[in-house]
Amino acid sequence: MNSRLTLWWSRLAAMTVKELLQLFRDGFLMFAIVFLFTADIYMTRNVRLELNHATVVVHDADHSAASRELIYRFRPPYFQLGGEIQDSREGQALLDQGQALAVLDIPPYFQRDLQSGRPTDVQVLVDTSNTVLGTLAASYSGQIIGRYGFEAALARMGASEASLDTVPMIQDQHRVWYNPNQNDAWFIPISELLTVITVMAIMLPAAAAVREKERGTIEQLLVSPLTPALILLPKVISMTLVILAGTAISLFLVLVPVFGVPIKGSLPLFFAVTTLYTVATSGLGLYIATLSRNLAQAAMLAIFILMPMVFLSGAWTPPEAMPAGLRETMYLSPLYYFIEMGYGILLKGAGLDVLWDSLLGLTLLGVGIFGIGVRRFRRQFG
Amino acid sequence: MGEAAPLTPAPAVRVQGFGKRYRRQAAVAGVDLEVRRGEIYGLIGPDGAGKSSLMKAVAGVLAFEEGSIEMFGIRIDSEAAAERVKGRLGFMPQGLGLNLYPELSVEENIDFFARLRGVPAAEIAARKAKLLAMTRLDRFTGRPMKHLSGGMKQKLGLVCTLIHEPELIVLDEPTTGVDPVSRRDFWAILAELLRENGITALISTAYMDEAERFHRLSLMHGGRVLASGEPDAIRARTPGSVVELEAEPQVEALDRIQASLAQAESVGPRLRVFVDDAEPEAAVGTVAGLLKGLSLRDLHATTPDLEDAFVALLRRQRLVEERAVAKPRAGDGDPPGDDVAILAKDLTRDFDGFRAVDRASFTVHQGDIFGLVGANGAGKTTLIKMLTGILPPSDGEGRVAGADMHFAAQAIKARIGYTSQAFSLYQDLSVLENLRLYARIYGVARHAAGERIEQVAELTGLTGRERQLAGRLPLGIRQRLALACALVHRPRILFLDEPTSGVDPIGRRRFWDILVHLARVEQVAILITTHYMSEAEHCDRLALMHAGRIVADDPPAALKQALREEAGELLEVATDRPLAAMALLEQAGFAGVALFGRHIHLFARDAHTATREIQTILAGRGIGLAGVTPRPPSLEDVFVYRITALEQGEQRL
């Protein structure tokens, strides 16, 4: 019995070493791994999900001190002035061409009406084809104009800004936690890293298994005394090792030094969760490998699985933004749990006491996915 | 149309100083050849000899750097020139049915090519009907191409190549991977086309024994032409004689001969020796002199075949790597063990109502080389899968290496070695890494592994190449690596599935040297499948499979003897107008009439009566008869005769 166990381990080790050797000799795959775990994440460095010098063009029909004062308030970092236009149709054209995000239209007699206390309107046209930016631009410009109107009203009543304190009103005192500067520079690269881990966890085992089929090497393994488990486990083990190494490189060479991401929680817990996630997801890769005859087919199938998986994970679209029916299906995306736990551990310092339900979810889902992948693999190659 | 193509000033193809490079690697260099109108011209050589590059260039689908190609007197030096001759040319690339569309039916494929080639709609139906009838595909017009057998795919490819009635067809390895019956069928169709349409054909092949099918040919090796001309003329380039004999003990006899003569091999129970520059008498004397004291039987001289000439040519031009296959002496400590290696009793395997193997029974003893031949789909692969423990049998019993197939598949896997047809080792690992991997997979103890790996590397001539990546090795050496990996755990039984496909004759000889050593000295039982009938001669026993059943199981000599008794003598008829003569002889009711280049083969019960009959028939039409000579039948003749008889029997049912 003992010698059989030794033999089993020796075979497992030999096959794992073989998988790693093959991977290291595949120049293209190695390049893809290094690129995705470093440069790809580094590239998100200056990406912000907020207004950044959005161009505003102005149609000023009043040309008064009041209108200039209002226009002056649309300034960097959120806005920048894109110049003045002569009529509103020109503004429409600039919006159509995408050269301006918003058009500010100030009517004639703006200053007179404002000072005489008559109601007056300004029009803001916003391009919301990009919903996030459009909504932000609408809301920011609304705030700017509202504040300006408020101040103008106060001034007309002879009150100063200081006297505001005497007016009864609710003060909004919100505090932002976990990412106090609302720093997108943390959110985006972490999302990117978790997505890269997902892509690798599906593609690497799928590629390793399909390559055996494509080159006919599987035939030689099937007539050998290896059991199907000894053919597939080494692929999962070796690719998980590679992904863990890539994650470590990404974390310590990119996320922490470049983005200053704080690692608030336990690193061993993070890597343990990553291991669990990678093994679970590799089941999908093995499943794909049984369905495809060559690498191109496997890649197509992987994209087919990855797109909904990433979409339903909350990596780029928060669960709160999903309609009711879709929100429940998010529980089927292993990436959903991984993102919960990834953010939780890295940014919130959360431990198992908080994350146990996500961990349970991922474990159950993982056992299911990996089980299906292994079953199909054994059926095809058993 | 007549034969003996009219000698026109412009040949069908003229190639001068042709050269093609891939990156900096020269694939072909300095090739000259001329294909006359109305002849079948052959390019023979192993994989990587440069045949495909040359054929693609002739077909106008590959740009080349050096030399010139003329077709029907038009120099192909530009796209426009290539366009001008395209209508007169048909090209079938290498690979079974690769130019066809798997999802389309036979008829849809033909229609597609007809429209692509702009065949007038009025003519399509007539041409299609004629070609379908000729290839006997007319019963399968609605079947999707992917469900055709290998031979049928090849015939459909030929029909699609011929639908626009080209004057010249260029066929790249049309017979590779096709079983002997389909191959012979293919050649018969070509002969008919030649007779009826007078087309010219340029055809490449890796099978040396197909040389006799060509009027003229070029032997290629390593991107160069070794020799060109008629088969007889090429044989005459390497004067010498072949001596065949049976000697006891065979291993010692072969060792003695190989010590002084470079070109010697064992073929089954016989030895075959090529003696340079010697007349038959002298050659026999030389060999007998080397083997003094051994018991010799049936010592005689025969004429060298083209493969002998090919090997001799390579040897003389010093293109052969030095004989590296060392043979460790016997006494590796293998116990002789149970004498029966494989025992199959009524083995049967069904797939969803389809019986792939039907009551196969046979026995293979330790030290035997057992050959399994049959068309694609005859059930060889399924049988091997059962014997190697991958597939459980539906019925019947089998013991392999002392383990029962029903209960101990895992034990079987651990005790056998297996090499598949496609090179199935890791190309991105080195020779040593591959060997080590398989040593560990098969559980060779770590301390013993190093020594054993050295041993198999020496046996298979891989010493000195341990650090090279498997993918960079030439095909022949790769197959030896596959063999080495299969041997690393000292299996008592070896399964080899078409191990020498595409390997050059020298590589094949070396491979067989190793196999013979394993069987004779180390008493390993070997079960091998092959499409090379010349190779099947090496087997001690040969089982012929057809439609899942083993229809013959005997030593090669006994199979040939049985053929003589059943079908009669094989006669070779040499005439000045073979195509016309062939039609006449077929009408006269001779069995197995087939065209081999300028000669006709047929079977006759009584050679004397038949010869007189042939003389009368041909003289009546004024066809000159150069001679009728009895020929020893080849295993291919046996195979084709048996299978054709069975197929005809099935059709009658």
Smallest CA–CA separation between B517 and chain A, in Å? 24
Q: What per-residue confidence (pLDDT) applies to A159?
A: 66
Average pLDDT of the residues in A349-369: 90
Average pLDDT of the residues in B491-517: 86
What is the residue extent of each domain of chain A?
2-46+181-381, 54-166
Strand order through the sheet with B40-44? B89-92, B168-171, B200-205, B40-44, B216-221, B224-229
Highest mean pLDDT among B145-159, B556-570, B630-644: B556-570
HSE, side-chain direction, 13 A CA sphere, residue B124? 16
Average pLDDT of the residues in B395-402: 90
Strand partners, B542: B371, B554
Q: What per-residue confidence (pLDDT) applies to A162?
A: 64
Contacts of A14 in chain B (CB under 8 A): 436-437, 440-441
Q: What per-residue confidence (pLDDT) applies to B3?
A: 47
Among the partner-chain residues B390, B413, B422, the one whose CB lies closest to the CB of A216 is B422
Report CA A55 to chain centroid distance, whole Å: 26
Share of chain B above pLDDT 90, in %: 23
Average pLDDT of the residues in B628-636: 87
* pLDDT value at B455 more than 70: yes
Among the partner-chain residues B388, B427, B428, the one whose CB lies closest to the CB of A223 is B388
Highest mean pLDDT among A258-262, A322-326, B550-554: B550-554
pLDDT category at B332 given cuts 50, 70, 90 is very low
| Chain-chain contact of A216 with B410 (C-beta, under 8 angstroms) | no
Q: Which residue has the higher pLDDT, A368 or B647?
A: A368
Domains of chain B and CATH, by start:
13-227 (3.40.50.300), 239-303 (3.30.70), 340-554 (3.40.50.300), 558-652 (3.30.70)
**ipTM score assigned to the predicted complex:** 0.75
* pLDDT value at B339 more than 60: yes
| Residue A77: cis peptide before it, omega within 30 degrees of 0 | yes
Q: What per-residue confidence (pLDDT) applies to B555?
A: 93
Residue range B129-165, pLDDT digits in tens: 888 888 888 888 888 888 887 788 888 998 999 888 8
pLDDT category at B335 given cuts 50, 70, 90 is very low
Q: Interface of chain A against chain B, CB under 8 Å?
A: 7, 10-11, 13-15, 18, 21-22, 25-26, 215-227
pLDDT category at B329 given cuts 50, 70, 90 is very low
Q: What per-residue confidence (pLDDT) applies to B10?
A: 80
Rounded Cα–Cα distance for residues A339 and A190 (Å): 9
* pLDDT value at B67 more than 60: yes
| Chain-chain contact of A18 with B443 (C-beta, under 8 angstroms) | no
pLDDT category at B334 given cuts 50, 70, 90 is very low
- Locate the chain A residue with the closest alpha carbon to B485: A220
pLDDT category at B1 given cuts 50, 70, 90 is very low
pLDDT category at B2 given cuts 50, 70, 90 is very low
Q: How many CB atoms lie within 10 A of CB B520?
A: 17
* pLDDT value at A34 more than 60: yes
Among the partner-chain residues B413, B440, B446, the one whose CB lies closest to the CB of A223 is B413
Average pLDDT of the residues in B355-362: 92
Contacts of A213 in chain B (CB under 8 A): none
| Chain-chain contact of A223 with B389 (C-beta, under 8 angstroms) | yes
Helical spans, DSSP H, in chain A: 2-25, 27-37, 39-42, 65-72, 88-97, 110-116, 131-156, 184-214, 217-222, 228-249, 256-259, 267-291, 295-311, 324-329, 334-343, 352-381
| Chain-chain contact of B426 with A22 (C-beta, under 8 angstroms) | yes
Q: Classify burial at B322, counting beta carbons within 10 Å of its beta carbon; exposed 0-12, middle 13-18, buried 19 or more.
A: exposed
Contacts of B437 in chain A (CB under 8 A): 14-15, 18
Among the partner-chain residues A7, A218, A225, the one whose CB lies closest to the CB of B413 is A225
Q: Which residue reads 């296959």 in tokens?
A: B325
C-beta pairs of A137-140 under 8 Å, 24+ apart in sequence: A137/A51, A137/A54, A137/A79, A137/A101, A137/A102, A138/A102, A140/A51, A140/A78, A140/A79
Q: What per-residue confidence (pLDDT) applies to A164?
A: 61
Q: What per-residue confidence (pLDDT) applies to B352?
A: 82
| Chain-chain contact of A15 with B441 (C-beta, under 8 angstroms) | yes
Rounded Cα–Cα distance for residues A68 and A62 (Å): 9
Rounded Cα–Cα distance for residues B213 and A210 (Å): 41
Q: Which residue has the higher pLDDT, B99 or A32?
A: A32
Contacts of A18 in chain B (CB under 8 A): 426, 429, 433, 437
* pLDDT value at B372 more than 70: yes
pLDDT category at B333 given cuts 50, 70, 90 is very low
C-beta of residue B605 within 8 angstroms of C-beta of residue B568: yes
Average pLDDT of the residues in B615-641: 87
* pLDDT value at B214 more than 70: yes
Contacts of A12 in chain B (CB under 8 A): none
For residues B28-62, one letter each, b for 16 or more C-beta atoms within 10 angstroms of the residue's C-beta and e for the rest, the string is bbebebebbbbbbbbbbbbbbbbbbbbbbbbbbee
Average pLDDT of the residues in A339-345: 89
What is the number of CB-based contacts under 8 A between chain A and chain B?
67
* pLDDT value at B552 more than 70: yes
| Chain-chain contact of B426 with A217 (C-beta, under 8 angstroms) | yes
Q: What per-residue confidence (pLDDT) applies to B623?
A: 86
For A54-166, CATH gives 3.40.1710.10
Share the mean pLDDT of chain A.
Answer: 85
Q: What per-residue confidence (pLDDT) applies to B336?
A: 46
Average pLDDT of the residues in B323-347: 63
Length of chain A: 382
Average pLDDT of the residues in A182-191: 75
Smallest CA–CA separation between B429 and chain A, in Å? 7
Average pLDDT of the residues in A310-316: 80
Smallest CA–CA separation between B525 and chain A, in Å? 17
| Chain-chain contact of A18 with B426 (C-beta, under 8 angstroms) | yes
SS3 content of chain B, % helix, strand, coil (to 5): 40, 30, 35
Share of chain A above pLDDT 70, in %: 91
Q: Interface of chain B against chain A, CB under 8 Å?
A: 388-390, 410, 413-414, 416, 418, 420, 422-429, 433, 436-438, 440-443, 446, 485, 495
Smallest CA–CA separation between B31 and chain A, in Å? 33
R_g of chain A, CA atoms, integer Å: 29
| Parallel/antiparallel/unpaired status of strands B89-92 and B40-44 | unpaired
* pLDDT value at A160 more than 70: no
- Locate the chain B residue with the closest alpha carbon to A12: B441
Q: What per-residue confidence (pLDDT) applies to A62?
A: 85
DSSP characters for A138-190? HHHHHHHHHHHHHHHHHHHTT--GGGGGGS--PPP-----SSTT--HHHHHHH
Residue range B162-194, pLDDT digits in tens: 888 899 999 998 888 777 878 888 888 888 887
- Locate the chain A residue with the closest alpha carbon to B443: A7
pLDDT category at B408 given cuts 50, 70, 90 is confident
DSSP characters for B535-556? HHTT-SEEEEEETTEEEEEE-H
